[in-house]
Amino acid sequence: MSVTGPRLQPTLFEMSRPGRGGGKIPHPPKDALERIPVAARRASPPALPELSEPEVVRHYVNLSQLNHAVDTGFYPLGSCTMKFNPKLNEWAARLPGFADLHPLAPDELAQGTLQLLWELEEALAEISGMRAVTLQPAAGAQGELTGILMVRAYHRGRGDLERTEVLVPDSSHGTNPATASMAGFRTITIPSARDGGVDVDAFRAALGPRTAAVMITNPSTLGLFESRIGELLEEVHAAGALAYMDGANLNAILGRFKPGAAGFDVMHFNVHKTFSTPHGGGGPGAGPVGVGETLEPFLPSPRVLREADGRYRLERPGERPTTIGRLRSFVGNTGVLVRAYAYIRAHGGSGLREVSDDAVLAANYLKVRLGGVFDVPFERHCKHEFVASAASLKKETGIRTLDIAKRLIDFGYHPPTIYFPLIVEEAMLIEPTETETLETLDAFVETLIAIAAEARADPDVIHEAPHTTPVRRLDEATAARQPNLRWRTAAGAETPCPD
Amino acid sequence: MPYGPHTADDRARMLETIGIASIDELFDDIPVALRASRLDLPGPVPELELAAQLQALADRNRTDLASFLGAGVYRHYTPAAVDQLLLRGEWYTAYTPYQPEVSQGTLQSIYEYQSLLAELVGLDVVSASHYDGAAATAEAALMTCRQTRRTRVLISRAIHRHYRETTRTYFAGGELDLEEIPLVADGPAAGTTDLAALGRLLAEPDRPVAGVIAGQPNALGLLEPMGAIGEAAHGAGALFVAVVEPVSLAVLEPPGRYGADIAAGEGQPLGIPPQYGGPYLGILAATEPLVRQIPGRLVGMTTDVDGRRAFVMTMRAREQDIRRERAASNICTNQALLALAASIYLATVGPHGLRDVAALGAARAAELEAALAAVGAPRLHAGPYLNEFVVRVPDAPAVHRRLLGRGVLAGLVLAEAEPDDPSLADGLLVCATEVTTPAEIAHFATALREELAR
Amino acid sequence: MVPGDLRYTKDHEWVRVEGDTATIGITQYAADQLGDIVFVELPATGAPLVQFATFGVVESVKAVSDLFAPIAGAVVGTNESLANSPEQVNSDPYGQGWLVKVRVTETGQLDELLDPAAYDALIAAG
């Protein structure tokens, strides 16, 4: 294989030359390590690359340009809410007062951050209609684990040890069943109704004295609001179970539907979706969890508390024995939460409602415009995203959703989420968000129309797409069969430290 | 709305295309009884005012003290290049590299991260990142249970308290047992994992152990006999998990050399600011035979259809989006941007710079030890340490509080952090790094002498 | 046409019985549906298989699928070459790509499986 193609970069290790770099850290005294027993010391320095700063900078700038990002183009990746990430929020999170604060600093040194966290909890409680919120979970999936462990603690606290099952619809995110397993429950998968919604009758049949919780994504992963949700929640509670809401799709319902008020017992927020914190190529996120009265005693510790005199403090170890404990170190991904706080404050209550209004408007606009081009399996109004399908086009031309996705890349778009949810054949889950101009939406529609025409006229060009990217379709089978997960430095490249 | 582009005309055009009169109609499927009232939140704040409000909140925090607080999160110098590069939108606003053709930047950077960390820890398989050191430790503990099909894990009491608590939480669902290995009470090895007690726990009949977890340096700053702990674990058929601090690995023997099967740790010291708890970087690494047990994303090198070298997420079928309830972990979003920060940090300081960071911290810590001992606060333990240690101060909580007023954050009050360990009641856990100055050390020593003389 | 000397499950496993030993694999149809197979997880020697219960997992690049036992028995051997060359399941599913061999006690269970014609009909129906 060629080491690199045009625009591709060698690895840091290939660029390394002994003796390059330095000038960042003062040299320590020669005897600095003499008091460390020889047996505990490293025999030879790690074979890390030696590079000058200009090379490092050029390497990473060039690498960055191989990525598609929200800042470079439209990113209609369903279920991921790739909206604009405001720059003010980046500035705020880097303020030394926030960035340099040690997480174990005494409360009196941390009043600003504690106030911010407390106010953010209050805002999220209002948005969700929940009674209380923990900001501790590091991501949505950890929020799910937090929620389901609280459900477990609740049932156990009542001496109800028989509830060993969690019901999950077949359209759910994979994190839902994986979370149920991690929390020690058996997952019961419930097929969706024909209209894509929850099948209340199927849930009713599965609900019983062994049901600990149901996990519902609302709007669903098909982008549809679960109109029978009230009925379902009544059934769930009548069976003695609790209702978890996966908040991944909250961007559709801000100011329109409050899960807690509607009867959900617990939900998580994906602040890196709804509240615009950057996705960072796969993280960091933050996954706060809101709970109703039933689960409040079980929230992770420490909580952020406000004293009668207006001062803020963290809960002390052992202060609330009913807690499920900790999910991670310290209080949470505070730097991410600063950004979410800034986003919520910038919008205010009215602006957040407009966020959802415009996100839903844009999705329905795209759905209507693409209706004649692709199959749109569900007729009703969608929420912030919708599923289109290339099933008919595939029958006619052999062009699959994967091919369309790859061809979109040639035109400068990030493809939608494909082959999810699993219950729709040749699915494309399209989520435009509220921050894309009408011109962008129109251009995207025109491109998809052109690709559909191309599928009939010149399918080979689509089969072989993408054509314009630095690399083309990859050999993923060999990558998995003979995994190469790290660079191996050639022998002898390790050099001793100069002093 | 501050970041939305739509004009009234845009909205009207979209409504017309959809064939409805108002946006409200798009929400008709929410049952009337469940429709929300307005959000009771303050109104929108213009950027100028919001910036001032955020600045005011940041200013309510106090970060101006001379700080000797570490305990799992360490102040370090971060070269300017790190944040400058990190701020590029191409990194910042991209998501999980599901489409490798337009994600080679993120994918190669993760592969490089895996490679850099593999060099540091001396283990071949490094996950693309976990949430933080605590969650990585918990996942490591779960790995040992899956691999050995046993349900009992032993964790040293000198593992960070938050890591122990997190692991306990993660264990709740699986009906797994987490037992603590006590520490040596006195003598030259005081404060380190008690090998004799470990031997007894490992020898309990009918209670086989899946994994043994110990830290290097441990949570009291002391160096542990990692080789001996690993031998004991392996002798009982258990896996050995080392909890490590990455900067120290520039100078300390790497886990792969002393027999660790898994390494977990907190990557925050590699160019990531303290920011009151996160986002940080969970490091999780393992030997090659454990590759199928390691949870989370992995990036591998491969080729494209034209034979060009390329990078891709691999061994995906282990993960939750495919394996659902049978996945090893539910982790999805990780800490990719922080892994990138760590990589840029390591590339910028280089192997010799990293050694200088570790060694200069050790030198400053020795100066701190001498200065504190000279004013009546000697070390509590006798064994070797790298850059963090416990000093004995009479009435430590009160002295610590008074020192705040003198501009000194005198480390961690162990009576509050570890209330159930009376041997630490007078202890302050203090650390120094390369950013600790001789002037700060002198300031601390002087203030402490005056407080102790009161 | 699928091989005529085998019996099949509706979950796309095949079995060949010779004496008291049964060899088990997945069909070409299953291998094609899964795409590039990258990993096969098999039971240990000695493990008991229960007819129609899961006994392992096969992974492709982007899918994972359970393996269901066509016949009961104790595992006497697994195809160790698949650890390094799982692609054999794609390239030669009825030969080099076999999965496990079991010692069979109840050959009568074969009557509960599909014969080649019935299996052909099953995959033709999609």
Please name the member of A65, A101, A109 whose beta carbon is closest to the beta carbon of B275.
A101
> Do A192 and A170 meet the contact criterion of CB atoms below 8 Å apart?
yes
Instruction: Confirm or reject contact between A67 and chain B (CB < 8 A).
Output: yes
| Residue C49 confidence (pLDDT) above 80 | yes
Please name the member of B39, B310, B333 whose beta carbon is closest to the beta carbon of A285.
B333
Dist CA A25 CA C60 (whole Å):
47
What separation, in Å, do the N-terminal and C-terminal C-alpha atoms of chain A show?
39
Neighbouring chains of B at 3+ CB pairs under 8 Å are A, C
Six-digit token string for B394: 């009479």
Phi, psi of A203 (to 5 degrees): -65, -45
What's the pLDDT score for residue A5?
A: 57
Six-digit token string for B276: 């009151």
Stated as kind and residue range, the H or E segment containing C102 is strand C100-103
Which of A25, A232, A298, A323 should one mutate to test binding to chain B, selecting the residue with the greatest count of B CBs within 10 A?
A25
Q: Maximum CA pair distance of chain B?
A: 82
Q: What is the dihedral of CA B194, B147, B217, B170, to 10 degrees?
A: -90
Dist CA B212 CA B201 (whole Å):
10
Dist CA B166 CA A321 (whole Å):
15
Phi-psi region of A215 (alpha: psi -120 to 50; beta: other; left: phi over 0): beta
Instruction: Confirm or reject contact between A395 and chain C (CB < 8 A).
Output: no
Instruction: Confirm or reject contact between C62 and chain B (CB < 8 A).
Output: yes
Which of C34, C38, C85 should one mutate to test binding to chain A, selecting the residue with the greatest count of A CBs within 10 A?
C38
Cβ contact (<8 Å) for A126 and B98? no
DSSP letter at B379? B
C-alpha distances (whole Å) from B26 to each of A382, B23, B29 are 8, 6, 7
Which of C37, C57, C61, C84 should one mutate to test binding to chain B, selecting the residue with the greatest count of B CBs within 10 A?
C61
Residue-averaged pLDDT of chain B: 96
Six-digit token string for A422: 């699993």
Give the count of beta carbons closer than 10 Å to the beta carbon of residue C59. Answer: 24
**Of A217, A224, A198, A197, nearest in space to A380 by CA:** A224
Give the chain B residue whose CA is nearest to the CA of A197: B29
DSSP reduced 3-state for C24: strand
Give the chain A residue whose CA is nearest to the CA of B45: A346
Work out whether strand A186-190 and strand A165-169 pair parallel, antiparallel, or are unpaired.
Answer: parallel
Cβ contact (<8 Å) for C87 and A481? yes
Residues in chain A within 8 Å Cβ distance of C86: 481
> Do A144 and B330 meet the contact criterion of CB atoms below 8 Å apart?
yes
Six-digit token string for B448: 């402490």
DSSP letter at B187? S
**Of B219, B194, B60, nearest in space to B133 by CA:** B219
Cβ contact (<8 Å) for A283 and B89? no
Q: Give the gap in angstroms from C-alpha B315 to the nearest C-alpha of chain C.
A: 7
Residues in chain A within 8 Å Cβ distance of C59: 480
> Do B164 and B189 meet the contact criterion of CB atoms below 8 Å apart?
no
What's the pLDDT score for residue A490?
A: 60
| Residue B155 confidence (pLDDT) above 60 | yes
Dist CA B126 CA B144 (whole Å):
16
What's the pLDDT score for residue B90?
A: 96
DSSP track, B437-451:
-HHHHHHHHHHHHHH
Q: Give the gap in angstroms from C-alpha B357 to the nearest C-alpha of chain A.
A: 7
Q: Which residue has the tokens 């939305």?
A: B4
What's the pLDDT score for residue A499?
A: 47
Instruction: Confirm or reject contact between B305 and chain C (CB < 8 A).
Output: no
Cβ contact (<8 Å) for C38 and B317? yes
DSSP track, B320-365:
HHHHGGGSS----S--HHHHHHHHHHHHHHHHHHHHHHHHHHHHHH
DSSP track, A238-254:
HTT-EEEEEETTGGGTT
Dist CA B134 CA B140 (whole Å):
10
Give the chain C residue whose CA is nearest to the CA of B327: C64
Please name the member of B1, B119, B297 whose beta carbon is closest to the beta carbon of A282.
B297
What's the pLDDT score for residue A194?
A: 83
Instruction: Confirm or reject contact between B264 and chain A (CB < 8 A).
Output: no
DSSP reduced 3-state for B300: strand
Instruction: Confirm or reject contact between B315 and chain C (CB < 8 A).
Output: yes
Cβ contact (<8 Å) for A258 and B36? yes
What's the pLDDT score for residue A151?
A: 98
Instruction: Confirm or reject contact between A100 and chain C (CB < 8 A).
Output: no
Instruction: Confirm or reject contact between C121 and chain B (CB < 8 A).
Output: no
**Structure confidence at residue C61 as a pLDDT band (50, 70, 90):** confident
Burial A168-207 (b: 16+ CB within 10 A, else e): bbbbbbbbbbbbbbbbbbebbebebbeebbbbbebbeebb
Which of B37, B102, B348, B421 should one mutate to test binding to chain A, selecting the residue with the greatest count of A CBs within 10 A?
B102
Give the chain A residue whose CA is nearest to the CA of B247: A46
Give the count of beta carbons closer than 10 Å to the beta carbon of residue A161. Answer: 8
Cβ contact (<8 Å) for B316 and C39? no
Six-digit token string for A498: 């100069």
C-alpha distances (whole Å) from C89 to each of A56, A356, B215, C27, C78 are 44, 49, 43, 9, 13
Q: Which residue has the tokens 């098999």?
A: C42
Cβ contact (<8 Å) for A472 and B305? yes
Residues in chain C within 8 Å Cβ distance of B292: 39
Q: Maximum CA pair distance of chain A?
A: 76
Dist CA A275 CA A293 (whole Å):
25
**Of B101, B163, B86, nearest in space to B336 by CA:** B86
Phi, psi of A245 (to 5 degrees): -110, 125
Q: Give the gap in angstroms from C-alpha A150 to the nearest C-alpha of chain B.
A: 11
> Do B61 and A113 meet the contact criterion of CB atoms below 8 Å apart?
yes
Q: Give the gap in angstroms from C-alpha B94 to the nearest C-alpha of chain A.
A: 4
Residues in chain A within 8 Å Cβ distance of B397: none
Cβ contact (<8 Å) for B347 and A77? no
| A231 CB-side CA count, 13 A | 13
Which of B322, B324, B325, B326 should one mutate to test binding to chain C, selecting the residue with the greatest count of C CBs within 10 A?
B322
Give the chain A residue whose CA is nearest to the CA of B103: A67
The one-letter amino acid at A309: D
CB contact residues (below 8 A), chain B span 176-215, against chain A: none
Instruction: Confirm or reject contact between B316 and chain C (CB < 8 A).
Output: yes
Dist CA A419 CA A394 (whole Å):
14
Q: Maximum CA pair distance of chain C?
A: 38
What's the pLDDT score for residue A309?
A: 97
pLDDT in tens, B46-94: 999 999 999 999 999 999 999 999 999 999 999 999 999 999 999 999 9
DSSP reduced 3-state for B90: helix
Q: Give the gap in angstroms from C-alpha A308 to the nearest C-alpha of chain B.
A: 19
Give the count of beta carbons closer than 10 Å to the beta carbon of residue A219. Answer: 23
pLDDT in tens, chain A (499 residues): 444 556 899 999 999 999 999 999 999 999 999 999 999 999 988 999 999 999 999 999 999 999 999 999 999 999 999 999 999 999 999 999 999 999 999 999 999 999 999 999 999 999 999 999 999 999 999 999 999 999 999 999 999 999 999 999 998 999 999 999 999 999 999 999 888 888 999 999 999 999 999 999 999 999 999 999 999 999 999 999 999 999 999 999 999 999 999 999 999 999 999 999 999 999 999 999 999 999 999 999 999 999 999 999 999 988 999 999 999 999 999 999 999 999 999 999 999 999 999 999 999 999 999 998 999 999 899 999 999 999 999 999 999 999 999 999 999 999 999 998 888 999 999 999 999 999 999 999 999 999 999 999 999 999 999 999 999 999 999 999 999 999 997 643 444 554 4
Phi, psi of B448 (to 5 degrees): -65, -40
Work out whether strand B408-409 and strand B66-67 pair parallel, antiparallel, or are unpaired.
Answer: parallel
What's the pLDDT score for residue A2?
A: 45
Q: Give the gap in angstroms from C-alpha C63 to the nearest C-alpha of chain B.
A: 6
| Mean pLDDT to the nearest integer, B393-414 | 97
Residues in chain C within 8 Å Cβ distance of A480: 36, 38-39, 59, 61
Six-digit token string for A228: 């029978």
Work out whether strand C37-41 and strand C54-60 pair parallel, antiparallel, or are unpaired.
Answer: antiparallel
What is the crossing angle of helices B438-453 and B336-374, to 10°? Answer: 50
DSSP reduced 3-state for A211: strand
What's the pLDDT score for residue A493?
A: 40
> Do A47 and A489 meet the contact criterion of CB atoms below 8 Å apart?
yes
Phi-psi region of B232 (alpha: psi -120 to 50; beta: other; left: phi over 0): alpha
> Do B83 and A94 meet the contact criterion of CB atoms below 8 Å apart?
yes
Q: What is the ipTM of this complex?
A: 0.97
> Do A28 and B360 meet the contact criterion of CB atoms below 8 Å apart?
yes
Dist CA A250 CA A269 (whole Å):
7
Dist CA A136 CA A153 (whole Å):
18
Q: Give the gap in angstroms from C-alpha B103 to the nearest C-alpha of chain C.
A: 18
**Structure confidence at residue B317 as a pLDDT band (50, 70, 90):** confident
pLDDT in tens, A266-280: 999 999 999 999 999
Which of C32, C36, C58 should one mutate to test binding to chain A, selecting the residue with the greatest count of A CBs within 10 A?
C36
Q: What is the dihedral of CA B346, B348, B350, B352, to 10 degrees?
A: -120
| Chain centre to alpha carbon of residue B295 | 16
What's the pLDDT score for residue B379?
A: 98
DSSP reduced 3-state for B62: coil
Six-digit token string for C119: 């299996």
Instruction: Confirm or reject contact between C10 and chain A (CB < 8 A).
Output: no
Cβ contact (<8 Å) for B41 and A257? no
Residues in chain A within 8 Å Cβ distance of B82: none
